[in-house]
Amino acid sequence: MLKKIILRILNPIHLFQIIKLSYNNKRVNRVFADEQLKFYSKILPTDFLHYGYFDDTTIKPEDISVGMIYKAQVRYAELLLQKIEDRHSLILDVGCGMGGLIKMMLEQNLKPVALTPDATQIAHISTKYPTLKVYATRFEDIPLQENIDTYGTIITSESLQYLDLDKSLTLINKILKKETNSRWIACDYFKIGVEGEKSGHNWDVFLQKLDSNGFKLTFQYDITPHILPTISYVYFMANNIGKPSLEFALDKLKVKKKGLYYLIEPTIDTIFEKINKNLKTVNPKIFASSKKYVLMVIERK
């Protein structure tokens, strides 16, 4: 194995390919090729890609089972569907993920339309629901003329954070039906502090933009305590199983494959630095201090 690696590094053709792949990897648009979401879809068979909703906010991470997370994800979806008022018009699921919410809407005889730019999600949904209308695009690029004044409900479930607010708010105003019971249901996290990762819109800025674009919040529910059990579970598993398992594998490699270990040894510290950096995004204390997760119903003024 070590010989093959060295020969590939020394071969100019392979070396050029390594450099080319590394460079191109930086240029891959995460929206269109999200391997992280693909990974989630394989370990979460419910077809949901969100944190879920735990009714019991005091449960400890070591007491949580995978089955509990599945139930929490369904519970989260139920809360969203309860907020749909117009149950006859089309419903646009923006950033529909692997179609978990789509499935539940179809079971309730609702009329969902799916939208996602992710190739993995498109293939999965199109195969599972062949008659479903699917827009394979970013929300900002949805064909406008065929969607004006079309949807009784628009849902952004943990997808609002990826949208350009200025473009999206204008677009929502145009494609949402001009009726009193039409509404935008949003459930996502927002930045409220300075610590933590950069993802998510600033809460105060979001409220200002809603107001300036003619929208108002008619319902809001801070569900942060109810999603923290999932985050705590991921953080617990990563620190108590994931990292020790990696350390064990490296120790075994050091003993049994000394040459290969020598080759990768300079990268080990970098790998763990990257892991620790990513773990901050699921540190429940950092999340709770820097973000809030809100379920909202938004309507025109």
Of the candidates 61, 81, 53, the one whose C-alpha atom is nearest the C-alpha of residue 224 is 53
Alpha carbon 139 to its chain's center:
15
Output the CA angle 184-189-194, nearest 5 degrees. 140
Question: What are the pLDDT tens digits along the chain (301 aa)?
Answer: 545 544 554 455 554 554 445 545 444 444 444 454 454 545 455 668 888 999 999 999 999 998 999 999 999 999 999 999 999 999 999 999 989 999 999 999 999 999 999 988 999 999 999 999 999 999 999 999 999 999 999 999 999 999 999 999 999 999 999 977 899 999 999 999 665 557 789 999 999 999 999 999 999 999 999 999 999 998 999 899 888 998 999 899 888 888 888 888 888 898 888 888 888 888 999 999 999 999 999 999 9
198-207 — which CB contacts under 8 Å span 24+ positions?
A: 199/161, 199/281, 200/161, 200/291, 201/160, 201/161, 201/165, 203/292, 203/294, 205/165, 206/165
Q: In terms of pTM, does the model score above 0.85? A: no
What are the structural domains, with CATH classification, of the chain? 61-225+288-300 (3.40.50.150)
